[in-house]
Amino acid sequence: MQELELTGNEAIAWAAKCVGVDVATGYPGLPCTSIINTLKNIAEPSATRVEWSGNERIALETAFGVSISGGRSLSVQKMAGLNVALDSLMVMNILGTLGGMVVAVGDVPGSIFSGNEQDSRCLGAFAELPVLEPGTPQEAFDFTMEAYQISEKFGVPVILRFAKGFALAKGMVSFDCAAPAKKPVTSVIKRSYAPAKARVDGHAKLHRKLKEIRAYYAGSQLNTAEGSGDKAVVTSGFTYVKVKKAMEAKGLLGACKLIKVGSLNPMPQEFLSQELAGVTQAMAIEEIEPYLEEMLRVFANTEGQDLKVRGKTSGQVQWEGELSPAHIELSLDWLMGDQALGGPDFASVQVAEGGNELPGFCDNCPYDFYFSELKKYLAKNQLPRPVFTGEPGCSIYLEAPPYEMLDAKTSLGGSLGLACGLSLMQTDREVVAIVGDSAFFHSEIPTFVYAAQNGIDVIAMVVYNHAASVTGRQPNPASGFDMKGEKTDIMEIADIVTACKAPLVKVVKGKDEKAVWEAFDAAFNSKGLRVLILDDPCPLI
């Protein structure tokens, strides 16, 4: 038995090592990047292949290919990445797995360095897959091991959902690193259902699996309850840690039950029936969406139980943002106090700033140079200010002064597509798409083909800084190094864009003022897809 102090993310990585994962894939993004980084450092290269994939869909599909061959796989991505992979996930659920496959997905309450507050529990339920949520580093290890057991027992991928606070929280973790026996690798692979009736039959088979998984949950240790009383707080994941701390501080566990749901899909009905017997009022305290709250309402309706359910939709729990201790305390005060006085006054809570999302560029950053020069160029030539599109990555800093050169941003790989649509309407000024080199390889290449083929008038400025800098300088195909820092061949962005038939491609190497102004001249005095590749490595590499 080993004992280590680990973060939640590190504990997931150690569980993957101990279960004998054959392949681990992912795409960098907070709060889950450190799972792959940790596993890379602790896994034996001869036993486990650890890699950053081209995008989240590639990561998921690679992991699925390993699983249906009998291997064990882990795919890691943040919540926005699950959107990228969802099309494939919605078929994998029906096709089923052979070796254990776990999809670790990190959510970001408060939306720090994320485009939204998306809740992956909802997508997991939509995909009709088992969803587990650990709350502590010890549970991170235990739940990951359990996820592989469920995946192999029932032949489905399992989603392991966690939030930002969990990823960083530290604790002592005790574990045995003996890998359970694996299924043999097989060459007999049938994972394609045709005609349509076969897919419908596969869907029915998935529903039977979920029914069996619900029964399996009843005998597991994934769900726990403590305290007593006719009122209950129902929570999950790292929120449980915060809620329990608040309840202990107020001395509430003797008068109120605390129920932690670790198996979020399918609903652990037998467990809830046992723990909610005699409870007349239940409050769901959770991040981000009212997932548990709606689960409790479905449960009460199904069981015919007279249970008043409180939470976000009824106004007793703060809905948006990361739950602070003060938010939780107000909810608990309402539940245990005089409810005739109205709902909690969440507007009175002074929430500490979550951190400056726009700290600015690093010293000697290529973005700083190129876009400062662009501002000078536009002013000298008295050109109308273009519309600027961007995407997650270092381009987000352009939104702040002194640049103020980011008008619209959606998702990674979305900058050029958004610019194409804008250019069809903004006919009196240029539209400039700011594209990072990692985003280019993630999912921008098809849009370059589209823009060139359809003669779209747009300028694409590809800032080639040789890494996914904002998430920790992970490599991409044009970096010239791999995730271990070893030298690799460079896939030239200019060659790819030229093959896409862009009519103008200009490469500027380094902070060359004369060359960059000549490139601006060429771009702003022509039409069609104009691509400027601004090649200067991130100073932190």
Q: What is residue 364's three-state secondary structure?
A: coil
Residues in CB range of 335: below 8 A, 6 or more apart: 231, 233, 256, 281, 283, 310, 316
Find the radius of gyration of the CA atoms of the chain.
Answer: 25
Q: What is the pLDDT of residue 359?
A: 64
pLDDT tens-digit readout, 459-484: 999 999 887 777 778 887 878 888 78
Both tokens of 275, joined, read 């723990």
pTM, whole model, 2 decimals? 0.86
Q: What are the distances in angstroms from CA 377 to CA 372, 428, 534, 535? A: 9, 18, 16, 19
Architecture of domain 2-218 in this structure: 3-Layer(aba) Sandwich (3.40)
Query: Cβ neighbours of residue 21 under 8 Å, at least 6 residues apart?
Result: 39, 43, 48, 72, 73, 74
Parse the chain into domains and list their residue ranges: 2-218, 224-348, 366-535
The class (CATH top level) of 366-535 is alpha beta
Cis ω for the linkage preceding 31 (within 30 of 0): yes
DSSP string covering 423-492: HTT-TTS-EEEEEEHHHIIIIIHHHHHHHHHTT--EEEEEEE-SSBGGGT-B--TTSSB-TTS-B-----
Stretch 270-289: mean pLDDT: 95
Name the region of 466 (left: φ>0; alpha: ψ -120 to 50; beta: rest): left
pLDDT at 69 over 60: yes
pLDDT (mean) for 206-213? 96
pLDDT, tens only, 373-399 = 999 999 999 999 999 999 887 877 888
CB burial class (10 A; 0-12, 13-18, 19+) of residue 306? Answer: exposed
Query: With 50 as the cut, is the pLDDT of residue 48 above it?
Result: yes
- The pLDDT, as a whole number, for residue 313 is 95
Degrees, nearest 5: CA angle 493-471-488 = 45
**Taking 50 as the threshold, does the pLDDT of residue 317 lie above it?**
yes
Tell me whether the CATH fold assigned to 2-218 matches the one assigned to 366-535: yes
Intra-chain end-to-end CA distance of the chain, in Å: 38
pLDDT over 60 at 353, yes or no: no
Give the pLDDT mean for 142-146. Answer: 97
Least confident of 189-203, 290-304, 382-396: 189-203
CATH tag, 224-348: 3.40.50.920
pLDDT band at 356 (very low <50, low <70, confident <90, very high): very low
| 452 contacts: CB under 8 Å, gap ≥ 6 | 500, 501, 502, 503, 528, 529
Q: For residues 389 and 459, give the distance between their C-alpha atoms in angstroms, rounded to a whole number.
A: 10
Neighbouring-strand partners of residue 431: 387
Interstrand relation of 224-226 and 257-260 (parallel, antiparallel or unpaired): antiparallel
What are 74's two structure tokens?
A: 């882990």
Report the range of poorest mean pLDDT among 132-141, 159-168, 189-198, 440-449.
189-198
Nearest 10 degrees: Cα torsion 352, 106, 133, 249: -10
Show Cβ contacts of residue 341 under 8 Å, excluding neighbours closer than 6 positions: none
Instruction: Mean pLDDT check: name the lowest of 43-52, 137-146, 342-351.
Output: 342-351
pLDDT of 425 > 60? The answer is yes
pLDDT band at 351 (very low <50, low <70, confident <90, very high): low
Query: What band does 8 get if pLDDT is binned at 50, 70 and 90?
Result: very high
- What SS3 state is found at 336? helix
Q: Can you point out the beta strands (E) in 170-219?
A: 170-175
How far, in Å, CA of 158 to CA of 217, rounded?
13
Question: What pLDDT is stored for residue 244 in this prediction?
Answer: 96
Residue 205: CA count within 13 A, CB half-sphere? 16
pLDDT, average across residues 68-73: 94
Q: What is the pLDDT of residues 256-277, one digit of tens each?
A: 999 999 999 999 999 999 999 9
Q: What is the mean pLDDT of residues 345-361?
A: 67
Give 9's pLDDT tier (boundaries 50, 70, 90). very high
For 242-266, what is the mean pLDDT? 94
Of 19-23, 152-156, 334-338, least confident by mean pLDDT is 334-338
